[in-house]
Amino acid sequence: MAFDIEMIKAVYEKYPSRIAAARKAVGRPLTLTEKILYAHLSEGDPKSAYERGVSYVDFQPDRVAMQDATAQMALLQFMQAGRDQVAVPSTVHCDHLIQAEVGAVADLTKAKDKNREVYEFLSSVSNKYGIGFWKPGAGIIHQVVLENYAFPGGMMIGTDSHTPNAGGLGMIAIGVGGADACDVMAGLPWELKFPKLIGVKLTGKLSGWTSAKDVILKVAGILTVKGGTGAIVEYFGEGANSLSATGKGTICNMGAEIGATTSIFGYDEKTAAYLKGTDRADIVSLADGIKEYLNGDEEVYANPEKYFDQVIEINLSELEPHVNGPFTPDLAWPLSKFAAAVKENGWPAKLEVGLIGSCTNSSYEDISRAASLAQQAVDKKLVAKSEYTITPGSEQVRFTVERDGFLNIFDQMGGVVLANACGPCIGQWARHGAEKQEKNSIITSFNRNFAKRADGNPNTHSFVASPEIVTALAIAGDLTFNPMTDSLTNEEGVQVKLEEPSGLELPTKGFAVEDAGYQAPAENGSEVSVIVDVNSERLQLLEPFAPWEGTDLTGLKLLIKAKGKCTTDHISMAGPWLRFRGHLDNISNNMLIGAVNYFNEETNKVKNQLNGEYAEVPYVQRQYKQFGVGSIVVGDENYGEGSSREHAAMEPRFLGVRAILVKSFARIHETNLKKQGMLALTFANPADYDLIQEDDNIDIVGLDSFAPGLPLTVVLNHADGSKDEIKVNHTYNAGQIGWFKAGSALNLIKGGA
């Protein structure tokens, strides 16, 4: 689990010349984001690389990180690439397949048995190809990466949308689909449209009930779930320097909820302290030698409006704790206004469950501050009115907080410690009673709170806050309780108040762990066998997708016209479907079952144009595939937001959908579609969405001259004999058009292109 010090030396050695060349090319001071991106450009990139939001650019990341749910498909693809070993340091982390139900020990034991063949596959394929393997129970990918691999000025891609967590240590860390990870592990450059830049200037200093989580909750309220799309968010200022490294990680982690490509903080004393505290003093010595390259230029921060596309300023001294939700992470409420919002909107005020931890807030600091409130509850004879769960981010954190007595405090308060895994945050929660679909409220320190995400109940009102606020509200059992101003009645009938939480950024005795859960790969992988049972329901070797026929696509049936929000959770649900992440045929049975059909306002019920009957979306699409009929999916704004899961792109491709036509795409999903040889198209005029009719047969014309920047034509052949012709746009460059023609990016890799 070494942090590859020689690789980091090599990265830092190229910084002076690379950044000097970049500064000369653009003729102005540089932001931190630009410095890291320019230092990681692949050789021979044109000057057009410096255009923000315009050109696709090739980068060379330093490492790859994969979580177990997405690693299955990524590695099944990598097995076809013809390499003996991965080209860059890579790791697999088993965190997504552990379902929370009873408690850490029982849940982990059950998961190891239930997912045995998947874990054995991931272990053996990692062993064979030189990939570090973190066993189930080792921790959540982003916390483990922060503790072991993230470093200032590095570039990493990861097969999870919250990969930006590593930005807390000054790393450009970007969530991608498995096909992107496959490319980089195969030694190919990684492509990204050069991002726009959003600067967030932080002044003042946090105090009292306010935490780093409240910074991103505030930013989410300002920018909304798509305000950061196509941009990297760079935090700076005296306020940024005052935040702990893990607090910065929290902010960067949840930056995925504003659609940002990633988020980042500069290198400072807090970064150095965390690196030293996690046994990486060698990195500090190297980073101290190039400090000027690990922050933006002074002129940039002095006049940010000149160098960022947008600037936001937040005074941490004035920032109030926030609660965001329900059903969306950008509905931001200052704590002082939240109780009124609960009452005015008729949200259930009774709090059923409070959940802290997850990849967003599971650091030592987070748990110690929450434990300080739990201790107060015990001391003040308060009994928690809500269920309360704690999800440690890693075995190292769990072991350390148990040693320091925090888990015992939670136990006295009635808390339940869950496994070191994602659990309820991603829908891996066997919540008792959720099947009744009763209206209720929960509050978490997680990052996402879309309807049905945590427990599958569309009537669960899920709110997001800091671990401190979650703990206080769980003690009260009431969403209208404000711990900053209100009192509670204890078991003796006495009115008591909770005092401000307190905690430590790092353990005074240092971190400790008996078994971190790491497996190093074999030195010689050629002797390792990777076995996939042909009769397995969970794993399936891949067959290449067919190349483009060389003609326009005509006679496509409309599969579904999705209305409103259509996230990757709607396209390819998680929860119980996670068990099929390595079996493309089986998991395709969840394709678009959560999307709302525009024509009947129902989910998983669309018209089969072959017989006029209504049926489930996957069933109808399999009918079209059986009869050799292509289809098209139409969607709304920000289609495919949320998780990075490439299954949401692979499933329609596998079942014969030829194109996705929407008002706008979320970045990762658009790239995933392109990688799989799909047509990802947007309405030139968003109002043309209204022209799509349920019985349309659709033609996509102009593919014989498919070229960058050249729109295509879509012909809507209506059932009454009339037709509409509309223009549709795309963002394909020449290389991506090559993916489409070859049938997928992987087909080009295998062909040696």
CA 325 to CA 225: how far, in whole Å?
12
Exposed (0-12), middle (13-18) or buried (19+): which is 48, by Cβ within 10 Å?
exposed
Give the CA angle between residues 559, 564, 566 to the nearest 5°: 65
Please give the DSSP secondary-structure letter assigned to residue 666: -
Catalytic residue selected from 63, 398, 461, 645: 645
Report the C-alpha gap between 104 and 107 in whole angstroms. Answer: 5
**C-alpha–C-alpha distance, residues 36 and 34, integer Å:** 6
579 is catalytic: no
- How many Å is the maximal CA-CA distance in the chain? 80
- The answer to whether residues 425 and 359 touch, using CB atoms and an 8 Å cutoff, is yes
Pick the catalytic residue from 362, 462, 643, 744: 643
Question: Which are the contacts of 178, defined by CB distance < 8 A and separation ≥ 6?
Answer: 66, 70, 71, 73, 74, 75, 77, 159, 646
Host H or E run for residue 657? strand 657-662
Going from the C-alpha of 336 to that of each of 313, 321, 398, the distances in angstroms are 21, 8, 33
Q: Give phi and psi for 236, each to the nearest 5.
A: -155, 175
Give the span between the Cα atoms of 624 and 638, in whole angstroms.
Answer: 27
Q: Which of 18, 96, 538, 730 is catalytic?
A: 96
Q: Known catalytic residue: 116?
A: no
Instruction: Quote the tokens at residue 180.
Output: 């992107």
Cis previous bond, 89, omega within 30? no
Q: Are 120 and 137 in contact (CB under 8 A)?
A: no
Indicate which residue of 62, 68, 95, 696 is catalytic.
95
What letter represents residue 224's amino acid?
T
448 catalytic per annotation: yes
CB 10 within 8 A of CB 154: no
Q: In 10 A of CB 162, how many CB atoms?
A: 29
Number of H helices, E strands in the chain: 25, 30
Please, are residues 585 and 552 in contact by the beta-carbon 8 Å criterion? no
Does the CA dihedral 400-169-235-93 come out positive or negative? Answer: negative
Helical spans, DSSP H, in 27-67: 32-39
User: What's the rounded Cα separation, in Å, for the pair 360 and 165?
Assistant: 8
The active-site residue out of 68, 160, 330, 366 is 160
Out of 448, 570, 658, 669, the active site residue is 448
Known catalytic residue at 83: no
Give the pairing of strands 90-93 and 440-444: unpaired
Q: Backbone phi, then psi, for 497, in 5-degree steps?
A: -120, 145
Pair 87, 186: CB distance under 8 Å: yes
Element (H, E) at 556: strand 553-561
Which H, E and C letters describe 85-129, residue by residue? CCCCCEEEECCCCCCECCCHHHHHHHHHHHCHHHHHHHHHHHHHH
Hey, is 462 helix, strand or coil?
A: strand
Residue 134: what are its φ and ψ, rounded to 5°?
-105, 115
695 is catalytic: no
Angle between the 395-403 and 364-379 helix axes, to the nearest 10 degrees?
Answer: 40
In the residue annotation, 569 being an active-site residue is answered as no
| Range list of H helices, 28-83 | 32-39, 68-78
CA distances from 677 to 80, 460, 527, 563, 631 (A): 17, 37, 34, 25, 14
> Is 15 within 8 Å of 293 (Cβ atoms)?
yes
Q: For 616, what's the count of Cα atoms within 13 Å in the CB-facing half-sphere? A: 9
Token pair listed for 232: 């990297």
Q: Name the helix (H) or strand (E) containing 270.
A: helix 269-277
Between β-strands 63-67 and 155-158, what pairing exists: parallel, antiparallel or unpaired?
Answer: parallel
Give the closest residue to 443 by CA, choosing from 418, 481, 474: 474
SS3 356: strand
Return the active site residues: 95-96, 160, 448, 643, 645
